Amino acid sequence: MKRILVPTDFSEEARNAYQVALAIAHRTGAAIKLLHVVETPYYSPNFSATGDVMVGSNGMEQVYMLRLLESTKEHMNELIRSYPTEGVEVVHEVEVDRPISKIKRTIKDDNVDLVVMGSKGSSGFDEFLIGSNTEKVVRAAECPVLTVKHQHRDFNVREIVLASDFKREVGQAMEKFKMFQELFGARVHLVYINTPGAFESSTNLKQKLEHAAQKYGLQNYTINVYNDTVEEDGILHFAQEVRADLIMMATHGRTGFAHLLSGSIAEDLVNHTQIPVLTLQLK
């Protein structure tokens, strides 16, 4: 792992994510980029983060944007000063753009290995209407995304839940997940959530999970079949029982109308659990 991206809006959750990213960088030697995207109510291409103004912008827009950029850069400098960074390379960028577009471009252009984001979570009607930027990044990013809600003064992962139906090809995700497990020397709990609507024999399911563990060369793991009414609840309940420090899941990144109809367990978990979640979109 060489490059970690931390998008920040300077909220408490974003600061928690930065603190976790620093802990990971200390373990891996990775460099961190802090990114803040200034999004105006109406996206305007007339400004750059350097304060340059393009032809066509009016005086009020100029004053507003220049003051906003100045304030943003002060917040960025304060964030960097707030945490010790000795031994970790930290760079920062402030850009005027649409947040998701800029994050996706940065992941590609900088060859980012991991995104660490804070998440406030959402529920009910607000979630249906707008979702969250973190959820959108989980859906769109081409690298693993670690979402964090709470402060972790000493981020250390001992127990990991890896939830999957193990029916799809998850090999590309498994190598990333193994790397994270080995980074912390953690135990990984493979779990299949058995629901009434898609019930299978526990014996057959355990054989399937054991086959997956052998196929991908997992070490230090347990095999588990957990019964619950729906997959998301089952993952959360199982994670609580084993006192998980991290949940790992692959997502297919559904978008648009299909996403609204079917949803995504991984994205729902990001919204609803208090445990950090590491997701990777399968292509």
Confidence of residue 57 (pLDDT cuts 50, 70, 90): low
The pLDDT score that the predictor gives to residue 88 is: 95
Q: Are 237 and 231 in contact (CB under 8 A)?
A: no
Domain coordinates in residue numbering, the chain: 3-148, 159-281
Edge-first strand order for the sheet with 187-194 is 90-96, 31-38, 3-7, 114-118, 145-148, 277-281, 246-251, 159-163, 187-194, 221-227
Structure tokens at 25: 């960088």
The pLDDT score that the predictor gives to residue 166 is: 75
- In this predicted model, which residue has the larger pLDDT, 127 or 13? 13
- In this predicted model, which residue has the larger pLDDT, 134 or 42? 134
Burial class (CB in 10 A: 0-12, 13-18, 19+), 39: middle
C-alpha to C-alpha distance for 135 and 271, rounded to whole angstroms: 7
Q: Are 45 and 61 in contact (CB under 8 A)?
A: no
* All residues at 6 or more sequence positions from 113 whose CB lies less than 8 Å from its CB, including other chains: 1, 2, 3, 4, 30, 143, 144
Confidence of residue 47 (pLDDT cuts 50, 70, 90): low
Confidence of residue 129 (pLDDT cuts 50, 70, 90): very low
**Range from 13-17, 193-197, 241-245, 268-272 carrying the lowest mean pLDDT:** 268-272
Give the highest mean pLDDT range of 47-61, 187-201, 251-265.
187-201
The pLDDT score that the predictor gives to residue 179 is: 94
Q: Are 115 and 146 in contact (CB under 8 A)?
A: yes
**Range from 19-33, 55-69, 121-135, 213-227 carrying the lowest mean pLDDT:** 121-135
CATH topology of domain 159-281: Rossmann fold (3.40.50)
C-alpha to C-alpha distance for 235 and 10, rounded to whole angstroms: 30
C-alpha to C-alpha distance for 131 and 125, rounded to whole angstroms: 9
In 3D space, the residue among 235, 241, 245 whose CA is nearest the CA of residue 267 turns out to be 235
Confidence of residue 268 (pLDDT cuts 50, 70, 90): confident
Asked if the domains at 3-148 and 159-281 fall in one CATH topology, the answer is yes
C-alpha to C-alpha distance for 238 and 227, rounded to whole angstroms: 9
Q: What is the mean pLDDT of residues 242-259?
A: 73
Whole-prediction pTM value? 0.86
Long-range contacts of residues 201-206, Cβ cutoff 8 Å, at least 24 apart: none
Q: Residue type for 149, please?
A: K
Q: What are phi and psi of 171, to 5 degrees?
A: -60, -45
Q: Which CATH code is given to the segment(s) 3-148? A: 3.40.50.620
In 3D space, the residue among 112, 141, 143 whose CA is nearest the CA of residue 2 turns out to be 112
C-alpha to C-alpha distance for 64 and 60, rounded to whole angstroms: 6
Instruction: Tell me the angle at which helices 171-184 and 12-28 cross, rounded to the nearest 10 degrees.
Output: 80
Q: What is the mean pLDDT of residues 193-217?
A: 91
pLDDT (tens digit per residue) in 134-172: 878 888 888 999 999 889 888 999 999 999 877 666 777
| 58 Rama class: left (phi>0) / alpha (psi -120 to 50) / beta | beta
